[in-house]
Chains A and B, each alone.
Chain A
Amino acid sequence: MGNSVAGVATPARTIGVDMALGVDFALIGHQESWRAAADVLAVLRGPERTPLPDDEIKDILPWIPPRAVCRVDVGSIIGTKSGGARARGLYIDSFIPPDRLEAAYVHENIARVRKAAACAIKAGAKIVSLGGFSSILIEGNFDQLPETHDTVFTTGNTLTVAFIVQGIQKMCALEGRNLRRSTLLIVGATGDVGSGCARCLAPLVRRVLLSARKVERLRRLAAELQDDGVQVEVATDLQQFSAEADVVICAASLASPSLLLGRIAPHAIVCDAGYPKNLSPRAEMLGAKVFFGGLGQITGGLRFAPDFHRILNRHPFPDVVHGCLLEGMAVALEGRFEPFSQGRGSITRERVEEMETIAARHGIYLAPLYSADGPVEDGLHCQTEWA
């Protein structure tokens, strides 16, 4: 193989040494595509080795036990005598294979998240953010995480909701739409993120359409919103709604981008907040303004060691991260190690505002909006990493 011991061991050992200084937060994530998984393995193999062929990656990845893959350093805009406040963390990959992000593998995937959580506890992380599918798996199963007194867990869903809501408001402003006259459709409305978005946005729109698979949960959420005087309609089938939505939030738990919205208003604003993404590439939405929601941007600095910068941040703007992961970082920078988001259906407007305030205090804001086609803003004020 032609490698000296020092040549390979040195960068990895740097992580070990820094970990001895303490770990404020851990981020538990997974890759949502085989391409992304291949990129992670390519970084680990190093540039001097040929990347693994796709078939080998699909054979090897399912066998990798959850473990830390890199150190994450995040900075705050709040200054200290020695410079900006910083928090040290780890990115732990659960190595859930991208083709197993679905209900059929729920037990296997929960076991992987449990093992990833054990890694975080062993590393001494004070707070752990559950990213993407990990959060969906655990939001109703917090009792399945390893018990510990020194490490707390958050799904990070409160900050995700905050950025989705902010994104909708910003997009409406950019498009010159009046949110108060809008009909809002939420797909995946009874999930933690979907119901949080409903509570935040329902008072701001004319009518709300809620869609999810479980009708009883839909009715409960509708009753809660109706108590506040909101006009609500529920359906398990998107074709059953009596009105066309002109603002849509897709927050369903889907293994792959397969959602076809069907009938929505022309030029509707559509926020795909799924992780993995919800909307099928085949979805025909003439004139719709689509953007990816739930993303924030760190302005106080973000570093990965080894350099996973373009691997873990696959967005067209620098230092953009999913809200669920950002929540752990924001709370760590605040020095407030508490399980901010836990369980399902408990996200309120007040908690969202509180989390927005914490994040903003440390320079964590809504990321510039973009879609699969690129930035949706004019880009003049946004620094883009896409050539």
Chain B
Amino acid sequence: MEPLTSVNCSAIECTSLSTSAPIWQDILAQAMTGELLAAMNYTSLSEMCEDPAEMADALEHAQGEQGHAAAFAAEGRKIGVEVINNVDAKHWKRLRDAFLRCITERDFIGCLIVQEIMLESFAVASYSRVGKVAPGSLGGTFARIAAEEEDHVDHAMAILRAERARDAQRFDDKVYRLHLDVMTTLAQMLAKECKDGHCEVCHASCVKPSLFDVSLSAAELRGASLQQYLKTLDMLGIPGEVTLTWVTQLPV
């Protein structure tokens, strides 16, 4: 067990967080891993970009995600825990591999769909929920980063809408293909119980059963994430009855 106090921790905050610190530690570890993975994805994307403006944009995003990871690590220090990360953990690695397949195919639109529509939906929704219940600066940081990630989605949305306008059927087929790959993995990550063993990010046993202790639940985080995903797909213009079928067919 990590020490639960640090010089940066106010007395009141540490008292209120002392029992729940190991839970926040794992929540922060998942968030930090996600941010580092996003930073890697944007860096990979920048290497594929031929347009200097797009390249600069991708690198700026990568830097932003690094900043988010650093912010989560700092929040961990404030409550006296070390926030680890593991981008090679089994689920996160599968998500990274899915993104890299798009890179290999030089599929810029595919990259945006995976990162901005799928992974960011998950990040925006789950960070927002955590932001509402986490105390003090911890909650503030999650809420702030959720808002920043939402801006990313808005930025990508214009590009993706224009792409769909060119050939809706081709675009929707691509989204569905990536959905089967990426969202299946995300659904397994978001399942109420980790049925296929340890996720390789939580520092001890699975954090999910303990989420109730900090007014969260795995079911709520999954529900909010899938709802955000459906809403994002709605904004792209993909018919709601089609995307509902996709989501109901995901594993639980």
List A residues at the B interface (Cβ < 8 Å).
1, 3, 5, 8-9, 12-13, 15-16, 19, 41, 44-46, 49, 52-53, 56, 59-60, 62-65, 67-70, 119
Do B241 and A12 have beta carbons less than 8 Å apart?
yes
Q: Across the interface, do B230 and A65 meet the contact criterion of CB distance under 8 Å?
A: yes
Contacting pair B252 A56 (CB below 8 A): yes
Instruction: Please give, as numbers and ranges, the residues of chain A lying within 8 Å of B180 by CB-CB distance.
Output: 1, 3, 5
A4 to chain B, nearest CB (A): 9
CA distance A53 to B192 in the complex (A): 12
Closest to B226 in A: A63
State A119–B231 Cα separation when bound (angstroms).
12
The answer to whether B242 touches A69, judged by C-beta atoms less than 8 angstroms apart, is no
Of all chain B residues, the one with the shortest Cβ separation from A60 is: B223
Q: Known contacts A1-B180, A9-B173, A119-B240: does B223 contact A45 (CB below 8 Å)?
A: no
Shortest beta-carbon distance from A277 to chain B in Å: 27
A12–B219 CB distance below 8 A: no
17 A-B pairs (CB sep. < 8 Å): A3-B249, A5-B176, A8-B176, A8-B249, A9-B172, A12-B245, A13-B169, A13-B172, A16-B241, A19-B239, A44-B248, A45-B249, A49-B249, A56-B192, A60-B222, A64-B244, A69-B244
Closest residue on chain B to residue A95 by CB atoms: B244
B246 within 8 A of A: yes
Q: State which size class the interface on B falls in.
A: 20 to 34
Complex alpha-carbon distance, A49 and B177, angstroms: 18
* Residues B184 and A1 in contact, CB atoms below 8 Å apart: yes
Contacts of A70 in B (CB 8 A): 241
User: Which A residues are in CB contact (< 8 Å) with B177?
Assistant: 5
Q: Is B251 at the interface (CB under 8 A from chain A)?
A: yes
**Residue of A with least CB distance to B251:** A1
State the CA gap A67–B239 with chains docked (Å): 9
List chain B residues, Cβ under 8 A from A5: 173, 176-177, 180
Closest to A67 in B: B240
Given contacts A5-B173, A5-B176, 7 further A-B contacts (CB under 8 A): A9-B242, A41-B248, A49-B249, A52-B252, A60-B223, A65-B234, A68-B240
Whether the pair A15, B241 counts as a contact (CB closer than 8 A) is yes
Within B170-202, the residues touching A (CB, 8 Å) are: 172-173, 176-177, 180, 184, 192
Query: In the complex, which residues of chain A have a beta carbon less than 8 angstroms from the beta carbon of B55?
Result: none
Which residues of B sit under 8 angstroms from A15, Cβ to Cβ? Answer: 239, 241-242
For residue B74, which residues in chain A have a CB less than 8 angstroms away from its CB?
none
Number of A-B residue pairs at CB separation under 8 A = 81
A158, B144: Cα distance in complex, Å:
50
- Which chain B residues have a beta carbon within 8 Å of chain A's beta carbons? 169, 172-173, 176-177, 180, 184, 192, 219, 222-224, 226-227, 230-231, 234, 239-249, 251-252
A52–B251 CA distance with the chains assembled, in angstroms: 9
Given A65-B230, A119-B240, does the pair A8, B223 have CB atoms closer than 8 Å?
no
**Chain A contacts of B173 at CB under 8 A?**
5, 9
Q: Are B223 and A62 in contact (CB under 8 A)?
A: yes
A1 contacts which of B231, B243, B249, B252 (Cβ < 8 Å)? B249
In the assembled complex, the Cα of A59 lies from the Cα of B217 at a distance in Å of 10
Contact between A65 and B249, CB atoms less than 8 A apart: no
Q: Which residue of A lies closest to B225 (CB)?
A: A63
Q: Which residues of B contact A9 (CB under 8 A)?
A: 172-173, 176, 242
Q: Contact check, B223 vs A69: say whether CB atoms are below 8 A apart.
A: no
CB contact between A60 and one of B176, B226, B242 (< 8 Å): that residue:
B226
Given contacts A59-B192, A64-B230, contact A13 B245 (CB under 8 A): no
List residues of chain B with CB within 8 A of the CB of A41: 248
**A309: min CB distance to chain B, Å:** 17
State A8–B243 Cα separation when bound (angstroms): 11
Which residue of B184, B219, B247 is within 8 Å of A59 (Cβ)? Answer: B219
8 Å CB contact of A65 from B192, B219, B231, B245: B231
Find B245's partner among A1, A44, A53, A56 (CB 8 Å cutoff).
Answer: A44
**Distance between A358 CB and nearest chain B CB, rounded to angstroms:** 29
The answer to whether B230 and A16 touch across the interface, beta carbons within 8 angstroms, is: no
Minimum distance in angstroms from B245 CB to a CB of chain A: 5
Q: In the complex, A313→B244 CA distance in Å?
A: 21
Q: How far is the CA of A41 from the CA of B100 in the complex (A)?
A: 33
Closest to B244 in A: A67
- The residue of chain B having its C-beta at the shortest distance from the C-beta of A58 within the complex is B219
Which partner residue on chain A sits nearest B250 by CB separation? A1
User: Which B residues lie within 8 Å of A1 (CB)?
Assistant: 180, 184, 249, 251
